């Protein structure tokens, strides 16, 4: 039985940039997540020059930059799906009108009706997909409380209508409010913690990586932490990043980066530069310095600029669509991962849990890793997912979790009562 089901009609041309960007983004996600796992395993972390250097690199270029990049690519994918669903749905509704198959041209009222029905279908599709993603995220949280699948699913559920109807002005106002609120709330939190004497990175994160004593306590603690994190999504930068990515889907900046080399180069270098400058305060704190009140909110806001920089440079690297649709070398490997991003993301959690939780529990060994060596393990985990996706690609298989999500979304669709089409006048025949 074939589970994969298309809900956007016949697929159009697939552009390589989003897939290649997702593939490399998952490397950044792996590097950003490794501190969680070393904390859970109580890994002793010797600190040498290599560790300090890597902390600077990770803070300036990866932390708080990878997840906004993830959100932008998610928003881009949602908007692309909406555009295709509306286009195919409008055509389907028009073909259902009497006389159209015989050559009658539909009226303007009928075209408006068909597009409205297709827009409603697209909105329902996005919301249904988001609900399933929240469920997937809840299950994933039993293993990794830092799950973000549910946060992106919540974004789809809340803003399905805005995405389907392209309410970009409303989105811009909301994003501005979120940015201000995020800065204010972060300043309040940092001020409170520093007033309590938590001045170093170790103090600030104390308790964040506590190990659970039993499997049940680990799962319950993970799900509780996940629920708390999910509740803070409305004041995070996920919404602004997702809307920015969705807006890009109505341009050809990502679809055809070869047409915008100068602009994307400027955005890439400028975005990464702004992100790096904005992260200096947090990098100093992470390597043993004191924490300034402005450092964390500036680091987070600058992270959005850094994510834009990464997306621009990765789009340039991927290039535009090829005549034969084929990619080679590293682009092909990254694209394989990008088209199976959920499978790769979840596989990372399984591999990390095996390395940092299962193996020490079974063998009794203690891990002694500095930041640089831990980053090497993160890179190796990403390479393992690259190999997995290459095997799936060679066999002509989609990612199993993408297939499961697509099937769940398609099969949970329920029929709805559609508005009656406008009556065509006799002279319209």
pLDDT tens sequence across 331-354: 999 999 999 999 999 999 999 999
Q: Which residues contact 202 (CB under 8 A, 6 or more apart)?
A: none
pLDDT at 271: 98
pLDDT tens digits, 358-407: 998 888 888 888 899 999 999 999 999 999 999 999 999 999 999 999 99
Contact assessment for residue 66 and residue 241, using Cβ atoms and an 8 Å cutoff:
no
Phi and psi dihedrals of 365, rounded to 5?
-80, 155
> Does residue 294 lie in a domain region?
yes
Say how far apart CA 368 and CA 285 lie, in whole Å.
23
d(C-alpha 32, C-alpha 49), whole Å: 20
Model pLDDT, residue 146? 93
Q: Is residue 259 part of a domain?
A: yes
Helix, strand, or coil (residue 373)? helix
Q: Taking a C-beta distance cutoff of 8 angstroms, is the pair 52, 81 a contact? A: no
**DSSP-assigned states of every residue in 105-151:** PPPHHHHHHHHHHHHHHHHHHHHHHHHHHHHHHHHHHTT-TT--HHH
Please give the pLDDT value at position 3: 45
Percent helix / strand / coil, the chain, rounded to 5: 70, 0, 30
Number of neighbouring beta carbons within 10 Å of residue 422: 15
Taking CA 69 as the corner, what is the angle to CA 77 and CA 20, rounded to the nearest 5 degrees? 65
Rounded (10°) angle between helices 66-95 and 238-248: 50
Q: Report the C-alpha gap between 175 and 154 in whole angstroms.
A: 16
CA-CA distance, 208 to 286, in Å (whole number)? 15
Phi and psi, residue 156, nearest 5° = -65, -40
Answer yes or no: is 7 within a domain. no
Per-residue burial over 39-74, b if 16 or more Cβ lie within 10 Å, else e, is: bbbebebeeeeebbebbbbbbbbbbbbbbbbbbbbb
> Within a domain: residue 305?
yes
pLDDT at 5: 44
Is residue 30 within 8 Å of 201, Cβ to Cβ?
no
| Residue 325 burial class via C-beta count within 10 angstroms: exposed 0-12, middle 13-18, buried 19 and up | exposed
Spatial separation of the C-alpha atoms in residues 20 and 405, rounded to whole Å: 21
pLDDT in tens, 75-106: 999 999 999 999 999 999 999 888 877 778 88
Q: Look-up: residue for tokens 């070398």?
A: 329
Distance (Å, whole) CA 271 – CA 291: 24
Which segments in the chain show pLDDT lower than 70?
Answer: 1-13, 44-46, 196-213, 424-429
Rounded to 5 degrees, what angle do the CA atoms 206, 208, 212 make?
A: 115
* Full DSSP string of 174-224: HHHHHHHHHHHHHHHHHHHHHHTT--SHHHHTTTTTPPPSSHHHHHHHHHH
Please report whether residue 169 resides in a domain. yes
Tell me if 340 sits within 8 A of 392, measured CB to CB.
Answer: yes
Long-range contacts, stretch 356-365, CB < 8 angstroms, 24+ apart: 356/37, 356/38, 356/40, 356/41, 356/43, 357/37, 357/40, 357/41, 360/41
Could you list the residue range(s) of the whole structural domain that residue 151 is in? 16-412
Tokens of 259: 């047409």
Please tell me the predicted confidence (pLDDT) of residue 208: 47
Predicted local confidence at residue 206, as pLDDT: 44
128: exposed, middle or buried (C-beta count within 10 Å: 0-12, 13-18, 19+)?
Answer: buried
Whether residue 425 is contained in a domain is answered as no
Number of domains in the chain: 1
Q: Is the Cβ–Cβ distance between 283 and 52 less than 8 Å? A: no
pTM of the entire predicted model: 0.91
**Does 8 fall in a domain?**
no
């Amino acid at each position: 039985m074939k589970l994969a089901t298309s809900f956007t009609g016949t697929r159009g041309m697939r552009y390589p940039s989003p897939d290649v960007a997702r593939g490399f983004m998952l490397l950044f996600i792996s590097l950003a997540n490794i501190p969680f796992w070393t904390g859970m395993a109580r890994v002793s972390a010797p600190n040498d020059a290599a560790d300090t250097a890597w902390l600077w690199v990770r803070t300036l270029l990866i932390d708080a930059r990878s997840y906004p990049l993830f959100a932008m690519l998610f928003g881009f994918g949602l908007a692309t799906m909406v555009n295709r669903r509306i286009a195919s749905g409008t055509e389907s509704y028009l073909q259902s009108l009497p006389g159209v198959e015989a050559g009658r041209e539909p009226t303007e009222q009928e075209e408006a009706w068909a597009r409205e029905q297709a827009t409603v279908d697209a909105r329902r599709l996005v919301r249904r997909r988001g609900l399933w993603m929240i469920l997937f995220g809840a299950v994933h949280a039993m293993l990794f409380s830092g799950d973000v699948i549910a946060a992106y699913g919540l974004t789809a559920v809340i803003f399905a209508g805005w995405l389907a109807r392209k309410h970009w002005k409303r989105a811009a106002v909301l994003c501005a409010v979120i940015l201000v609120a995020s800065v204010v709330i972060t300043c309040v939190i940092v001020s409170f913690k520093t007033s309590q004497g938590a001045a170093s990175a170790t103090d600030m994160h104390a308790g964040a990586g506590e190990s659970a004593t039993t499997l049940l306590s680990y799962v319950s603690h993970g799900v509780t932490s996940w629920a708390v994190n999910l509740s803070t999504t409305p004041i995070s930068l996920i919404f602004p990043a997702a809307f920015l990515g969705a807006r890009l889907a109505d341009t050809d900046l990502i679809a055809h980066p070869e047409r915008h080399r100068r602009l994307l180069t400027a955005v890439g270098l400028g975005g990464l530069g702004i992100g790096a400058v904005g992260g200096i305060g947090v990098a100093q704190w992470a390597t043993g310095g004191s924490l300034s009140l402005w450092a964390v909110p500036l680091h987070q806001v600058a992270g959005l600029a850094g994510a834009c920089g990464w997306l621009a440079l990765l789009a340039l690297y991927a290039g535009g669509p090829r005549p034969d649709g084929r990619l080679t070398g590293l682009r092909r490997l990254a694209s394989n991962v990008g088209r199976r991003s959920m499978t790769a993301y979840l596989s990372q959690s399984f591999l990390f849990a095996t390395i940092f939780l299962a193996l020490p529990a079974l063998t009794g060994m203690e891990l002694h890793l500095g930041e640089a060596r831990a980053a090497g393990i993160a890179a190796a985990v990403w390479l393992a997912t690259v190999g997995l996706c290459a095997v799936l690609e060679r066999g002509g298989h989609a990612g199993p979790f993408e297939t499961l999500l697509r099937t769940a979304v398609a099969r949970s669709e329920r029929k709805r009562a559609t508005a009656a089409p406008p009556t065509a006048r006799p002279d319209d025949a």
